[in-house]
Amino acid sequence: MNCYETTFFANCPSNGIKIKYTLHIRTHEVIKVECLLAELQNFQVAFHEDIADVLHQKFAGEQILTASHHGVQITTIRK
């Protein structure tokens, strides 16, 4: 099992506030760090759940994406 963890930022489409995300991926595949970082840079403005869906389509495995949106902690899990 390979485990990847990183943080990145994207702006909320509702009000433009910058949000810090934490991503955990567990997979049997090898993910090139450069590919992961390039994909994360694509999320300039996006909803949390949409980011989770796109990342899971791209990298599969088990993914946990967390962030605090205006004081509300959101965790999405994709398997």
pLDDT for position 70: 86
Using a 10 angstrom Cβ sphere, with 0-12 exposed, 13-18 middle and 19 or more buried, the burial of residue 22 is middle
Four-residue CA torsion sign, 34, 5, 57, 17: negative
pLDDT for position 23: 98
Q: CA 24, CA 38: separation in Å to the nearest integer?
A: 16
- Per-residue pLDDT 10s for the chain (79 aa) are 999 999 999 999 999 999 999 999 999 999 999 999 999 999 999 999 999 999 999 999 999 999 999 899 999 999 9
pLDDT for position 73: 97
User: CATH classification of 2-78, choosing from 3.30.1130.10, 1.10.8.60, 3.40.50.620, 3.30.60.50?
Assistant: 3.30.1130.10
* pTM: predicted TM-score of the whole model, two decimal places: 0.94
Instruction: Give CA angle at 22 (70, 6), nearest 5°.
Output: 150
DSSP 28: S
